[in-house]
Amino acid sequence: MRTERTQVAIVGAGPAGLLLSHLLHRRGIGSVVLEIRSREYVERRVRAGVLEQGTVDTLMEAGVGERMAREGLPHHGIELRYGGRGHRIAFERLVPGRRITVYGQQEVVKDLIAARLADGGRIDFEVSDVAVHDIDTDAPSVTYVDASGERVRLECDVIAGCDGFHGVTRPSIPEGVLTVYERDYPFAWLGVLARVRPSAEELIYARTERGFALHSMRSSEVSRFYLQVEPDEGLEAWPDERIWAELKTRLETVPGFTLETGPIMEKGITPMRSFVVEPMQYGRLYLAGDAAHIVPPTGAKGLNLAVADVRVLTEALVAWFRTGSAELLEGYSRACLKRVWRAQHFSWWMTTLLHTFDSDDAYGRRLQLSYLDYVTSSEAAATTLAENYVGLPFEKGPHD
């Protein structure tokens, strides 16, 4: 077994792990990123595409936002569509100076990988048999098999678990340490990526009696759509013709709107889940992003929460390596969870506001419509939606 050493071992080359490695490098702290998938797979994996204002600012400040600034699609509002009418939530009026940017997660990942490699950073792709050891000591390590088949022991000071919901780092924490909060929803999302120009300039969230639909986009030539479906549905039940017919039924509900159709490039079904573990740390292991929490995608918070976690963890690690003070590291979970739970509530609220639940629950449907009427007619309610959607400002840290 080959033995190596780094300051921070990062498990997972998604946005959380790559951004953490990049931010640490800019502050003079070394890291190695381990990823079980290939670089090609990671860079092509389609995920979220709505970036909060704070996420955009973070990427720009980190020097990895040039292509995003050039190719991303800034949005100053969203539309809530229900009852045969569209209602715009105007960010530029409700939360002046703050907006969202549509830029695919895979594009963020490409930018971060390019930046790390250009700086001489190390990302080991296609590793296997990853395991973390001695996380409750001051000498943790990660063992794995590299792409060539050689076994490696990576000694480090800290391990960052950025390996997602199904990763190996969270299960390595002893049983009984973590408290799990979770909720499963009685539906899933069918996601579609299509080579067709967007039919609207901003995102459309549509609530219908047949279920929820979302019109989004990835570029001026590629659109992203979602349909609420049964949780046990398979893709074989959704040929392209049925997908377009259902999208038209749920989205073409206002006068003058026509949904453009085109070739479908990718489709997949995603379960809807809310999940949080507390604390997000144990010993020298710190969880970030989907390894610690999952939100239903209705509120577009998953990637943005990962960035928020990494900002907190970076400052804590910098303080510890430079001064020996563990105060920020000890408060890592507490600092992150405040924002996590705000995003959990917003995502749950958006989900329950727009999706069809029990078809026999006439009372529940009337409550939904009543609250939609309130949100689209009350300046205060619309502002609450807007400020949560574009992302609450980051709290000032000790180094800001």
Is 297 assigned a catalytic role? yes
Q: Name the residue among 158, 109, 173 with its Cα closest to residue 318.
A: 158
Q: Could you confirm whether 389 is annotated as catalytic? A: yes
| Active-site residue identified among 82, 103, 144, 205 | 205
Say if CB 283 and CB 159 are below 8 A apart. Answer: no
Quote the DSSP letter at residue 213: E
Cis bond before residue 140 (omega within 30° of 0): no
Q: Which of 144, 282, 332, 389 is catalytic?
A: 389
C-alpha distances in Å from residue 254, one per residue of 83, 290, 313: 9, 37, 46
The question of whether 332 is a catalytic residue gets the answer: no
d(CA 234, CA 188): 11
The answer to whether 6 and 154 have CB atoms below 8 angstroms apart is yes
Length of the chain: 400
Contacts of residue 162, defined as CB under 8 A and 6 or more positions apart, other chains included, come to 10, 11, 12, 14, 16, 17, 20, 287, 288, 289, 291, 306
- Three-class DSSP category at 298: helix
Candidates 15, 22, 75, 282; catalytic one: 75
Nearest to 80 by CA among 305, 389, 391, 393: 389
160 contacts 13 by C-beta, under 8 angstroms: no
248 is catalytic: no
**Torsion sign across C-alpha atoms 382, 385, 386, 392:** positive
d(CA 303, CA 14): 9
How many whole angstroms separate alpha carbon 97 and alpha carbon 313? 27
Cα pseudo-dihedral 316, 320, 326, 332, rounded to 10 = 20
Q: Which residues contact 394 (CB under 8 A, 6 or more apart)?
A: 54, 308, 311
Q: Which among 22, 76, 110, 301 is annotated as catalytic? A: 301
286 included as an active-site residue: no
User: Which is the catalytic residue, given 140, 198, 296, 297?
Assistant: 297
Residues serving a catalytic function are 75, 205, 297, 301, 389
